[in-house]
Amino acid sequence: MTFAQRVSGLLLRLFGWRLVFVPPPAPKGIIVVYPHTSNWDFFIGILYKIATGFQVRWLGKDTLFRWPVRRLLLRLGGIPVNRRDPSGFVDTLLAEFARTESMWLGVAPEGTRAHTNHWKSGFYRVALAGGLCLGLGYIDYATRTVGIETYLRLTGDPTQDLARIRASYAGKRGRRPQNEGDIRLRE
């Protein structure tokens, strides 16, 4: 373990968090992180990433990537996303996955910390089109557990796939449970 890993793990434990990490079954995939209801999720997630040594990149709105933190966020694996112009984004991610031998990408499918009645579908379309494994990451404030322990292969049937995802997230609670988004794709 590196010094940064030990310090990050210690900080999480000092704040009462338990870490769960099942290594990914494939060199490429997408980690869905749910529920995402608080700014604190970012800090807990970054500490988790460092503590486990899991080389996961993550998507964030481009307005976060401003001076003076831009270089730090990029170094921590951040990928800025212009949410005002989503055209071509799925194709861009698929090209990036095809270009690399190993890449895991973390996304918050709710797309916001506020309540939403559906998840954004980009993660699903990229995972399906790229034949990528889907990891189910969580930050559960009810049990103070942060982790990834379930990986799925999508079937292409959104009803069936989302039922499996919903079952895995049953009982997991965000910092603000009233802001948890509904686990369904927009029709």
pLDDT attached to residue 117: 93
pLDDT attached to residue 82: 85
CATH class entry, domain 3-171: alpha beta
What's the predicted TM-score (pTM) here?
A: 0.93
Give me the mean pLDDT over the 174-182 stretch: 96
pLDDT attached to residue 187: 79
DSSP-derived pairing of the beta strands 133-140 and 56-61: unpaired
Chain segment 155-165, per-residue pLDDT in tens: 999 999 999 99
Q: Rounded to the nearest 10 degrees, what angle do helices 40-52 and 3-14 cross at?
A: 140
Chain segment 86-133, per-residue pLDDT in tens: 778 889 899 999 999 999 999 999 988 899 999 999 999 999 999 999
Write down the residue that tokens 């209801």 correspond to.
Answer: 37
Chain segment 18-40, per-residue pLDDT in tens: 999 999 999 999 999 999 999 99
Extents of the domains making up the chain: 3-171
